[in-house]
Amino acid sequence: MTQEKRPSAAQRAARQEQFLEVVTRDEATARFQRHLRLAPLGSERVPLRLALRRVLAVTVASRVDVPAFDRSNVDGFAVIATDTFGAMEEDPRALALNEEILEPGRAPLESVAAGRASVIATGGMLPRGADAVIMVEHTETTDEGIACRTSVAPGQNVSFAGADIAKGETVLRRGQILTSREIGVLAAIGLADVEVYRRPRVAIVSTGNEVIAPGSAPRAGAVYDSNAAIIAAAVEELGGEGHVLGIVADDETKLDAMLAHGMSFDMVILSGGTSKGAGDISYRVVSRLADPGIVAHGVALKPGKPICLAVSGAKPVVVLPGFPTSAIFTFHEFVAPVLRAYAGLPVAHRRSVEARLPLRVNSERGRTEYLLVSLFDTDRGLAAYPMGKGSGSVSAFSYADGFVTIDQHDEIVDADTTVDVQLLGEGLQPAALVAIGSHCVGLDYLLSELQARGMAVKALHVGSMGGLAAARRGECDVAGIHVMDPKTGEYNRPFLDPSLELITGYRRMQGIVFRPGDARFEGCDVAQAIAQALADPDCTLVSRNAGSGTRILIDRLLEGRQPPGYGIQTKSHNAVASAVAQGRADWGLAIDTVAKQYGLGFTAVQEEHYDFAVPKTRLERPAVRAFRSLLHDPATRARLRDLGFRID
């Protein structure tokens, strides 16, 4: 059996090809769209029950009058208006009754002559001779017929034929998106089906050895394929049909075959394998397309530089970056406009709002950067907080309200700069309660309870000190904090200023977390565990972000020493526990609730106070009152205890 020869270092380096030409966003768009016909792909007739959110392909004129006949708008009597003139309570006008009763759907057989009336129901057809309807409550029944106690004018309480829609009148126009209202109009003019633009069919392929399908058993180094689900849903939102063809490993032959299959659709979108790295093959497979083939590979964007745009036979083929945020941004930047045109949708116009950037932001010169932000309604107007999760984040796009575009020539955007925020959704809906500060699963529970009760909430995890700063600036309703004064050991209260009020929360146990069976920690007290961790140069710490209450406690325990891993800053207890559980680190500090979730060993260090700082100007807001009430609710307190927290 012969052993496969491994590539040399030079060969491996050669595979790490760089982008041949990095172009601007506008240039990439122009090159891509130059080879495409940005128009609907055709039309089809569909039943009205399937027409919701479809785009009308023809202008529709009514072939009938609506209503189709003169009809009564009330229950009453069809009359000649002049017969009622002068009628009053004390001087009613008497009318004789015809024999027939005009119910909806029944054609009149008797005319209404002078001095006579016909009983008519709402929706009934107005008989010949009548020109008005008097409401039944404005009449009295007599032995001879009825007595009218008020007069009516000609046309009163009557909808005449064609008054709503006239025969030949245009009711809907080509390009209109069909909602329930438009479908009702189409049904009212007698249409059972309608001509709509055909949905563009988009083939979606995920690539990479590390990618596995949701629902599969997790394995080391694998990531679940979120891109296919996100892209397919986005295609549907834009009026297309997303066809997920599956996951292809880093195998050129298999990917070639999958691409050939994908070319039977209207568009092909591949996810991953575009960065020109040693394992990235998507661009190599796509590079074999012709007419014209790849038109742009590498765009001066952040996130999204590796985007690859190609066209073959007027059919778009796009390789999106593998990282979720990069993939979504580049999809909406380059693919969405084409899909909208194919589906017959109008050009999108994002709404924007002005907001203040509370933090300084550094950017990379030479690339247009899209900065995802979450918007908060503050005492000084809207504040745009950077999400700070990077292009690999799955959640950043769903949590963000919009994005700020930083010009490629800007390196710094100073704090308090007013920025233009392009909204991601159809509109901005400010949260009723905003929480900024330290993350805690207990706070997650409280906010979920408020959300379930119909109150929109928003949370941003920036650490205790960041939360205190936001509360002082009036940028949040509550700030979750657990900051210990290193001199006194007292939690939270020493850090308040006169503008803030402290709401007592609950207690949680902080401790050293480690993998069960690790002799350096198992069965040791805190002092022994710290000493043995510091004595072993291979014992790696996973630290916490500066400004967090846990980081302050870590620094107090280490007394100025910085073991391996000290510089790695994670932003949550869960991140610490995950690093230890996966063996990327050997120990860290986290709360016991999280340690149990990850099956880790735990050595208690001290109980800390997790409380809430609230700007005094916001104490009487309905959302803050609801939050305080929830904290005192017996069922809530019992649930917090079940989660492992101590609450007095």
Give residue-wise pLDDT tens across range 443-463: 999 999 999 888 889 888 888
Contact 445, 640 (CB under 8 A): yes
Contact 627, 433 (CB under 8 A): yes
pLDDT score for 388: 64
Residue of 45, 139, 15, 39 lying closest to 83 (CA atoms): 139
pLDDT score for 397: 63
- In order of 84, 93, 130, 578, the CA distances from 88 in angstroms are 9, 8, 21, 85
Rounded to an integer, what distance in angstroms lies between the CA atom of residue 352 and that of residue 184? 33
Higher-pLDDT residue of 387 and 614 is 614
Extended strands (E) in 149-266: 158-159, 170-172, 193-197, 201-207, 211-212, 223-224, 241-248
Q: What is the mean pLDDT of residues 21-41?
A: 92
Q: What percent of the chain stands above pLDDT 90?
A: 60
- In order of 222, 223, 224, the CA distances from 216 in angstroms are 10, 10, 8
pLDDT score for 9: 42
Contact 293, 31 (CB under 8 A): no
Q: What is the mean pLDDT of residues 52-65?
A: 92
- Those residues whose C-beta lies under 8 Å from the C-beta of residue 77, and which sit 6 or more positions away, are 95, 97, 117, 118, 119, 120, 133, 134, 136, 139, 146
Higher-pLDDT residue of 534 and 282 is 534
pLDDT score for 358: 84
Name the residue type at position 422. Q
Which range, of 77-86, 277-286, 427-436, averages the lowest pLDDT? 277-286
- Those residues whose C-beta lies under 8 Å from the C-beta of residue 306, and which sit 6 or more positions away, are 19, 274, 275, 276, 297, 298, 319, 321, 326
**3-state SS string for 541-555:** EEEECCCCHHHHHHH
Residues in the chain, total: 648
Contact 481, 612 (CB under 8 A): yes
Is the pLDDT at 277 greater than 60? The verdict is no
Strongest mean pLDDT among 188-197, 365-374, 545-554: 188-197
Contact 268, 317 (CB under 8 A): yes
pLDDT score for 648: 78
**365 burial type by CB count under 10 A (0-12 exposed, 13-18 middle, 19+ buried):** exposed
Q: What is the pLDDT of residues 115-170, one digit of tens each?
A: 999 999 999 999 999 999 999 999 999 988 999 999 999 999 999 988 888 888 89
- In order of 146, 147, 164, 312, the CA distances from 120 in angstroms are 13, 16, 21, 67
**Pairing outcome for strands 417-423 and 352-357:** antiparallel
Contact 150, 93 (CB under 8 A): no
What is the DSSP track for 287-319? TT--TEEEEEE-BSEETTTT-EEEEETTEEEEE
Rounded to the nearest angstrom, the gap between the alpha carbon of residue 505 and the centroid of all alpha carbons in its chain is 31
Say whether 177 sits in a helix, a strand or coil.
Answer: strand
The model's confidence at residue 427, banded by pLDDT at 50, 70 and 90, is low
Q: What is the pLDDT of residues 305-350, one digit of tens each?
A: 888 999 999 999 999 988 888 888 899 999 999 999 999 998 887 7
Q: What percent of the chain stands above pLDDT 70?
A: 93
pLDDT score for 398: 66
Rounded to an integer, what distance in angstroms lies between the CA atom of residue 648 and that of residue 634? 11
- In order of 87, 228, 232, 253, 403, the CA distances from 206 in angstroms are 79, 6, 11, 15, 26
Higher-pLDDT residue of 547 and 329 is 329
Q: What is the mean pLDDT of the chain?
A: 88
pLDDT score for 11: 41
Residue with tokens 């961790």: 533
The model's confidence at residue 275, banded by pLDDT at 50, 70 and 90, is low
Longest dimension (CA), the chain: 116
Structure tokens at 11: 């060969």
Structure tokens at 274: 């575009």
Residue with tokens 């590979």: 297
Cα within 13 Å of Cα(606), Cβ side: 17
Is the pLDDT at 547 greater than 70? The verdict is yes
- Those residues whose C-beta lies under 8 Å from the C-beta of residue 134, and which sit 6 or more positions away, are 76, 77, 79, 84, 117, 148, 150, 152, 156, 157
Q: What is the pLDDT of residues 177-187, one digit of tens each?
A: 999 999 999 99
- In order of 9, 55, 226, 315, 333, the CA distances from 341 in angstroms are 47, 11, 26, 13, 14
Contact 295, 315 (CB under 8 A): no
Structure tokens at 447: 């906010």
Residue with tokens 């207990």: 442
Rounded to an integer, what distance in angstroms lies between the CA atom of residue 300 and that of residue 369? 9
Q: pTM above the 0.85 mark?
A: no
**346 burial type by CB count under 10 A (0-12 exposed, 13-18 middle, 19+ buried):** exposed
The model's confidence at residue 15, banded by pLDDT at 50, 70 and 90, is very low
Return the number of other C-beta atoms located less than 10 Å from residue 106's C-beta: 13
What is the DSSP track for 90-124? SS-EEEEEEEEEE-TT----S---TTEEEEE-TTP
Higher-pLDDT residue of 110 and 386 is 110
Is the pLDDT at 527 greater than 50? The verdict is yes
Which range, of 424-428, 457-461, 576-580, 635-639, averages the lowest pLDDT? 424-428
Contact 645, 595 (CB under 8 A): no
